[in-house]
Structure formats: structure tokens, C-alpha cells
Structure 1
Amino acid sequence: MSGNGGSGSSVDKRPNEQLGSWFVRSGWSKGELARQVNRRARQMGAHHISTDTSRVRRWLDGEQPREPIPRILSELFSERFGCVVAIEEIGLRAAHQSPSVSGVDLPWAGRQTVELISEFSRSDLMLARRGFLGTSLALAAGPALIEPMQRWLVPTPPGAPADVPVLAAQAAARRTTKLSGPELDLLEATTRMFRQWDAQCGGGLRRKAVVGQLHEVTDLLQEPQSDAVSARLFKVAAELAELAGWMSYDVGLQPTAQKYFVLALHASKEAGDKPLGSYVLSNMSRQMIHVGRPDDALELIHLAQYGSRDCSTARTQAMLYAMEARAYANMGQPNKCHRAVRMAQDTFADISGAEEHDPDWIRFFSEAELHAENAHSYRDLAYVAGRSPTYASLARPEMERAVELFGKDDIHQRSYALNLIGMATVHLLEKEPEQSAAAAEKALSVARRVRSERVNTRLRKTVDTAARDYADVAEVVHVADQLALHLPDCVETAQAV
């Protein structure tokens, strides 16, 4: 029974009306849903799962499947409808998890932060098969996410940050390990190298290496160090946790990504680095836009702006305004979106010769990235407004400039691919299928060199839309054939969801 994800009890079953409602609206057949569940189970390494049509019927009739089936169904419906569909919303029960593994409402204290990062990174390394760790997590949204993150702003009581140094002092009698300045410099340089690899190669290439380095840093944080060294180590931990979250997001592990982002925010608070915390919140905001929660995205961006307005550089502030514009665009608020775009442009123009003091984690936000964010804001507005040609025309010059600049950049290849795909979507909005196909084909050539599920998924969706609307255009048919030939896994996903 467990091999099929069945329940051990069938007493007093009633039809699962919530699951039935999502199922009917999805347009899937029972057989299609069973195939998707089996495919996702294989991806995460749960090879014992073998679902069929009769098993799906029993779930609809009220049977409660065992884990990881509820998580898989939650992920599949979330992807289908473009928003977070929690396990409870489909009438299923989630397995009980300890606070250290599930949820985002974690203790804001140094010692617990170190322990949680250590435990989570170790679990990720042990269960590194794609998606497996994510099945023990749920993606938080709404007040369950926003309210715990607001505690980032609460000042730490005097003397409270000493919990880790106190433990170190207690251990000092037994151990005399000290981390030297050159060793710290090397850790920071390694983090910068990982960040460059991610931009150039995508999140799928070095994610486990980043997680392993993060776990090593937590070991160092549990050894006796001076307050100054502990602060630098917490900053390294925050940057590595953020990067692990970003890489997880890039390869489609959304709950895992969110947990790393939350842990990164905790570590940045321990490091006393508010600008870094605001950057972590901006990535959490981007994730919320990705899963169809722009209201949550806006709350997170406002929290980031409020917490770092007096201490972040012009480049960081410009990035936050650009993300604010993205949230407003997806909420269908054009006036506020326009205002945020202008604020991003004006603030970016304030960057002066002092920009060499920008931390490495924000240097990605270049002129190309500014144009790219503004282009996507207007593109998103166009879709929200029913494929508006007005907003598409605003997106076009911004996207063209982003593509031009990224095309000269050998490092940010994933961004180049994403903006080529963005250009393809703008051409579709302007009813130019041939030009859209040309941009998509360029994106495909870059995507083949970048290990990014995000790039593959966006490219597939764009080409799929073009093929549906312009099936008689030879250029569109050609790029669809090329996609099927060179990114077959991407096409399989398209068929699945």
C-alpha cells in the first residue's frame, strides 16, 4: 500500500471536495495526474511511488495519501495555477515536522541560527537528490511568512548577541582554534567565486558545493572566535545561505530556496548587516512574484526598504525600487509601477565614484540589470492588462537595451538568456512571431550552456505560447522543433504541466 502512497486508514471517508475542485479546474484526467505524480516522485528519488488512475480516484474519494504524495500534489497544482496551493487547501494533511525543518518562524538568536543552518545544510547534502529535501518542506506565504520576517527589524537587546561567543568562551579552555585574517579573506573570496559561477553557469552546477561550504562555516561559528571574527563569519554564512537559496530557486526547489533565504536573513541580522538583509528580502520578494504572490512580494520589499534606507548604497536602493516596480506591475497598479521605475532610474543615476565600495553581492545590479527589471515590469503590466500594446511598447526599448548589454557580458550568461526570452515575449505581445522565434532560438543556444531550470521553463512556456498562437509560422515551428531536440527534459515538463 505504501508503495502507492496510500493511507493506512479508510474509516469514515468522505469525498475530498477541495482536491476535487482543484482537479476539475486543472483540466487534467486522472491518468495525466497519476503520470505527473510518478514523474515528480522519480525526480526526487522516491522510486517506490507508483500511482495509477484508481489510486487518484481513491484520493478524490477521501483517502489520505502518505508523504511525499501531499507535497507532490501541492507542487503540481501550484505550478499549474501559478500560485501557492498549500497542502491544506487541497484537503490533505501534511506530515508533522519539527520547527527546525519546517516553517519559517524561527528563533532570532545567534546560537539557534548556527544550529539551524548546520542542520538544514547537512540534511540537504545527505538528501541531495533533486527535490527530495523539498518534499519535507512547505512554501510559506501570506501572514505566515510576512509576520516572522518583520522581526528582522526588532533590535537585538543589549548583550543578546553574545550567545555564540559565550559558548565559544566556555569551549576556549578546551580548544584554542582561531581563524586567521588570511583564512577569513579566503572564505570571502570563495563566496565571490561561487557567486560568479552561478551567474555564468546557472544554479544547477555548483549548488551542492555552496551548501557544503555553508556547512563548514557553521562548524567554524561553533568554535571559539573573537566578536569581530564571528561577525565576519556570520556575514559569510548569510551570503552563502542566500546563494544556496538563489541556486535552489533557479533549479526549481522553491521550499528549499525559501528556507535558505530565511536562514540567510537570520545570519545577516547576527552579522549586523542590514543592507545584506535587504538583499535577501528582495530575493524572497522575487520568489513570491514567481509563485503568483505579488502582494507578499510588495510587503517584503517594503520591509527591506524600511530596514536599510539609511545604510544601503544607491545601487542597492535602486535594485529595491526596481523590485517594487515588479510587484506593483504584477498587482496591476500601473501608476505606482511607473513611479517605482522612475525612482529606480533616478537612484541608479546617483551612483558615483564611491561605487567601488559596493559589496560584491549587489554588483550584479548593472545598467543592463536595471533595464532588464524595468522591461519585465512593463512586460508583466502588459499581460496583467490583457496583453496591452501600450505597456508592451514601453517594455520593448528597455528589453532591447538589456539584451544588447548582456550580449557583451561573458559572465552573466543566465541573465542574457532570460532577457532574450523576455524579448521573445515582447515580440509575441506585439504580434511579431518571426522576431519572437529568432529571439527564442538565440536564448536556446545560451540555455544549452547554462544549467538553470528557470531558464528552461521560461523558454518552454514562451515557445509553447508561440506554437499555440502561430502554428502556421515556419520560424515558430522550427524553434519548437529545436527546443524538442536540444532540451527534451524541458519539453517533457511542458507536457506534464
Structure 2
Amino acid sequence: MTQRMPNHQLKALIEESGLPYDGVARAVKAVALESGQRLGTNKSAVHHWVQGAEPSGATPGYLAEALSRRLGRRITREDLGLGSRSEGEDESIGLTLDFDPIETLTALGEADVNRRRFLAASAYSMAAATLPLEMVQEAAARTRTVSGGAVAGHADVAAVRDMVKLFMDMDERHGGQHGRTAFVQYLVTDVAELCRGRFASEQVRAEALSVASAGAHLAGWKAYDSGEQGLAQRYYLQSLALARASGVPGQDGFVMRTMSQQGMKLHRPEHCLALAATGWDRAKGRVDAQVEALFAVTHAHALAKTGQRRAAVADIEHARTALAAGVRSGDEVPFWALVWGPPAATVHSRTAKVFETLGDRPNAARQYATAAASRPGTTYARIIALDLVAQAEQQAKQGSIEQACVTWGRAIDTMAGVKSTRTLKAVRSLRSDLRPYRARGVRVAAELDERARIFLTHHR
């Protein structure tokens, strides 16, 4: 039997972190949970790793991210003394803004299409979350084109934009898992091919890169909806690089806004306010009022997350004012800003999250209800269902369980035909919230729980 050699590199990093073995285990489990993975890691497992055992599956990545966050610098598998991944498994893919984003997006998409496990289970990187805030090379200089092939014009870009918009609509109607592989395949073939070609003018080139950015953003959103947070982050970074390369006003800020929201959802607020603020600064005076309202309300949410109540409420009012001004003027909203439907609905939904963070449940419930009613039901089934679930949670916390059950029931009705990890998670959470009411014999709670059980049985 081959004797294990102690892992001195891992031992040194753990000692540098100052964490006891059970603290390392807790940190690893917390990182894994962000990606929807529940691990049984304990201090004995960490001890075995230090003695030379190798963590299995995606655990090395979670261990690397846990120590990266603790030490304030990026830690790799090699740093941990665990060697490199198998051939073709580049754990750093997409976690940079230093390379040609089209080439990076193609490599990332191909790995995604092939459902490479190392990507699907990859951790959300705190180090990568700061990249948009750092000085980077001008993206346009890194986005290469080739001299051969046909010359693309406005019509060619419009055709690709229409296809991306079609997938965006399908995503909202049927969930992120529906058509995901087909879309990513389209992204790494047709969209990438368009961006590598020649263009009739610089304006056409900018439009093509803008569409590619929106496509990468949608791929990230689909990964996010499937609970694959690390993969989503990598797509968002490449979307940001392409938006910067396009030079389209405000689009790079919009991607930073999304990255801020992802961090808030994962309860990683460290850089969310800076991302929201920088994204908004990139858009101020360069986008119409309705789009600026989207930036203002995300900034409000980030302020609320950091305990700045008065400033958050002020930004909510700013968003409302901007939204009303934009509606009056009839400005056209760019298609990349319509990811979650009409701006008014998105502002109401995000405003609800601000009030929820601030502990104002009545206002949160009202805003969630308004958001759900502001979107066309046939197109935005998933987000309407999630807003209704959030509304019901606020109603239940106010003691209105009968009203909450009615709202939860509407949410389940709306989820029919939606393939989304987030909606399934919402229904599981619903059942957990109903447990104390079932135990007390509340009939409406028992009936709704049975509906939820049947729903989950048919949507695994």
C-alpha cells in the first residue's frame, strides 16, 4: 500500500488563515452551499486532507475559494498542493478580463455545452467579483476580428439580435433550463462567428459586440437560474468585456448591476455597493430615464444591504421619479435592458427587495404584488411566480396565512411549464414555511402543502 505524504502546502495555508480545522470545514460548506451543494465536510475530513488525502469531486474548488476569501488573494489547486485538473479542465476559464472575450466566451460555452462538471459546480469567486472595479486593458483592443469572409451589415446583426431576443423571451416564459444547451451552442457558433468577421462600419461592429454581450449575459442568467453561480459569474465577466468593447452607452454598467445583484442574492455584499455605484456612474447621462431607474433601484438595494436606510429610501424615490419621466417621454428601452421585462415591473420587484431588507413587510408585499401584475403573464411566467412567492412570504410573516396561501397557490399555477431550479427551490421553501401551520391543523396550509408536494413530484 502506498503511504500518503502529508500535504505541507495545504497545512501552511490553513495555518496562515488562522482557522481551526472545524472553521475550514464550515467555510468550505458555506461556499459549496452557494452553488447548491450540501457537503458533509467536518474537521476530520480537513485533517485527512492535511495528511495527504485528496478531497473528492468539486470540493477542491470550494476549499480553494474558502481560503481565497480568508487570505484575500486567489488560491488555486496547485497552491493547495492538489495538482492540476484533468486535461481540458481549466479552472480559471472566464475568470479574467485580460483576454479576447470572444475566444474566452467560445471556450466557456463549449465546456458548458459539454456539461463539464468542473464548471457546473464551480464556486462564486470573490476575487473575480472585484475585476470590474479594477483597472483593466481596454476591451476593444483585445477583441480581435479577421480579415477574411463576408462583410456583416446591420441586417446580419439584426438577425442575430432577433434570435437572442427570442431565447430571452423563451427563458422568461419556460425557465432557464429550457433550451439552454441550444442557446449556448448558438452563442459559440453563430454569435461568435459574427463577431470574428468583418463589418461594414464601426457602428455595425459595435452593434455586433453589444448583441454578443447580451447573449453572454443571458447564458449567465440561465446558469444562475440553474443554481450554477460560479459559471454564471464567468459568463457575466465576458458579457462585461464585450459590452465595454462595443462602446454602447450604459451596457457595461448594466452588466455590473447584474453582478451586484448576484452578490446580494448570495449574501456576499462585500463589493455589491461598489459594483452598483460604478455601474450607475457608467450609465448616468448616457441612457434614458427608464433605464437609469433600473440602476437607481439596484443601488438602493445595495445601500439597504449595508444598513444605509435613509440613502436607500432616497434612491427608491429617485428610481420612481426617473421611471415616471421615462414613461412620459416615451423613450425606447434598449433590448439588453429588457432582460426581466418592462422596467416598471423590475423597479417594483427590486423596490420590494429593498423594503424586505429594511424589514418593512407591508410595503414589500405591496411592491411584489404590483411587480407581478405589471408583467405580461404569458411571457414572464417565471419572474411573476417568484414575485408571488416573495409576496406570500411577506404576507405569512405578517400573520396573514390564509392570504399567503392564496398567493402561493397563484404562484404554483404560474409555474406550470417552467423549468427552473429557482422555482423548484421556492416551492421547497414554501413547504418548509407551511410546516408549523400544518402542525397546528390549519386546513388551507395542509391543502396547499399537498399541491406543492404533487408539483415537486412532477417537476423533478
Q: Which residue of 2 aligns with 1:204?
A: 177
Where does 1:256-275 land on structure 2 (aligned, <5 Å)? Answer: 256-275=231-250
CA 1:24 to 1:281, structure 2 compared with 1: closer, same or farther past 3 Å? closer
Q: 1:188 is matched with which residue: 161, 182, 185?
A: 161
| Cα offset, 1:478, TM superposition | 2.6
Give the CA deviation at 1:307: 1.2
Following the alignment from structure 1 to structure 2, what is the Cα–Cα distance between the partners of residues 27 and 118? 31
Show CA shifts across 1:319-354 (max 9, x none): 111111222222233212211111111111111455
For residues 300 and 124 of structure 1, the distance between their equivalents in structure 2, rounded to whole angstroms, comes to 26
Q: How many residues were matched structurally?
A: 435
Q: Which residue of 1 aligns with 2:262?
A: 287
In the TM superposition, 1:368-387 aligns within 5 A as 368-382=345-359
Q: 1:21 and 2:23 equivalent?
A: yes
- Cα deviation for residue 299 of structure 1 reads 1.2
AA partner of residue 70 (structure 1) = T
Distance (whole Å) between structure 1 residues aligned to residue 261 and residue 394 of structure 2: 20
List per-residue Cα deviations over 1:436-495 (Å, max 9, x = no partner): 2222222122223211111221332243133246631222233223222221498x9xxx
**TM-align CA RMSD:** 3.9
2:410 maps to 442
Q: Partner amino acid for 1:193?
A: L
Instruction: Report the AA paired with residue 21 of structure 1.
Output: G
CA displacement, residues 230-275 of structure 1 (integer Å, 9 cap, x when unaligned): 3222112101001100111111110110000000000011111131
Give, as a single letter, the amino acid of the residue that structure 2 aligns with 1:453. T
Please identify, of 209-218 and 313-322, the stretch whose mean Cα deviation from structure 2 is larger.
209-218
Amino acid at match of 1:202: G
The answer as to whether partners of 1:250 and 1:452 remain within 8 angstroms in 2 is yes
Structure 2 match to 1:300: 275
Partner AA of 1:415 in structure 2: I
- For 1:9 and 1:450, how far apart are their aligned partners in 2? 50
Q: Write out aligned runs for 1:67-466 (5 A).
A: 68-70=57-59, 96=84, 101-102=92-93, 104-107=95-98, 112-126=100-114, 128=115, 132-135=118-121, 137-141=122-126, 144-151=128-135, 161=141, 164-165=144-145, 168-169=146-147, 172=148, 176-216=149-189, 217-228=191-202, 229-352=204-327, 354-363=329-338, 364-382=341-359, 391-406=360-375, 409-466=377-434
Task: Write out per-residue CA displacement over residues 5-60 of structure 1, whole angstroms, 9 at most, x where no aligned residue.
Answer: xx9645679798655236579999xxxxxxx9xx969xxxxxxxxx999x994444
Distance of aligned partners of 1:442 and 1:487 in 2 relative to their CA distance in 1, 3 Å threshold = same
Q: Counterparts of 1:67 and 1:200 in 2: how far apart (Å)?
A: 37
Question: Displacement, 1:95?
Answer: 5.8
Q: Partner of 1:442: helix, strand, or coil?
A: helix
> Gapped runs of 5+ residues in structure 1?
2-6, 29-35, 42-50, 78-85, 383-390, 493-497
**Aligned residue runs from structure 1 range 31-50, under 5 A:** none
| Cα pair 2:91 2:118 within 8 Å, conserved | no
SS in 2 for 1:65: coil
Q: CA deviation at 1:378?
A: 0.7
Asked if the contact 2:207/2:246 (under 8 Å) is kept, the reply is yes
Identity %: 19
Q: Corresponding residue for 2:70?
A: none
DSSP 3-state at the match of 2:199? coil
Partner SS, residue 426 of structure 1:
helix
The residue type equivalent to 2:397 in the other structure is L
| TM superposition shift of 1:148 | 4.3
Deviation at 1:306, TM superposition (A): 1.1
2-side partners of 1:104 and 1:11: how far apart? 27
Contact between 1:372 and 1:398, CA under 8 Å: does it hold in 2?
yes
Distance (whole Å) between structure 2 residues aligned to residue 232 and residue 64 of structure 1: 51
Q: What is residue 47 of structure 1 aligned with on the other side?
A: none
- What is the one-letter code of the residue matched to 1:182? A
Contact 1:322–1:344, Cα closer than 8 Å, also in 2? yes
Amino acid at match of 1:122: E
Determine the C-alpha separation between the residues in 2 that align with 1:369 and 1:52: 38
Structure 2 CA distance for partners of 1:235 and 1:372, relative to 1, 3 Å: same
Q: Return the offset for 1:179.
A: 2.6
Question: Aligned in 2, Cα 1:138/1:25: closer, same or farther, shift over 3 Å?
Answer: closer
**1:69-102, Cα deviation, whole Å (9 max, x unpaired):** 415756999xxxxxxxx988xx966764798834
Mark the CA change 1:11 to 1:179 in structure 2 (over 3 Å): closer, same or farther: closer
**Change beyond 3 A, Cα 1:430–1:87:** farther
On the 8 A contact 1:64/1:92 being kept in 2, the answer is no
CA distance change for structure 1 residues 40 and 99 in 2, over 3 Å: closer, same or farther? closer
Long gaps (5+) in structure 2: 67-73
Task: Sort the Cα spacing of 1:52 and 1:192 in 2 relative to 1 into closer, same or farther, 3 A.
Answer: closer
Relative to structure 1, is the Cα distance of residues 11 and 429 closer, same or farther in structure 2, using a 3 angstrom cutoff?
A: closer
C-alpha separation in 2, matches of 1:351 and 1:478: 44
Instruction: State the secondary structure of the residue aligned to 2:126.
Output: coil
The normalised TM-score by structure 1 is 0.76
**1:26, 1:298 → 2: CA distance?**
25
CA distance in 1, matches of 2:292, 2:82: 39
What SS is found at the alignment partner of 1:186? helix
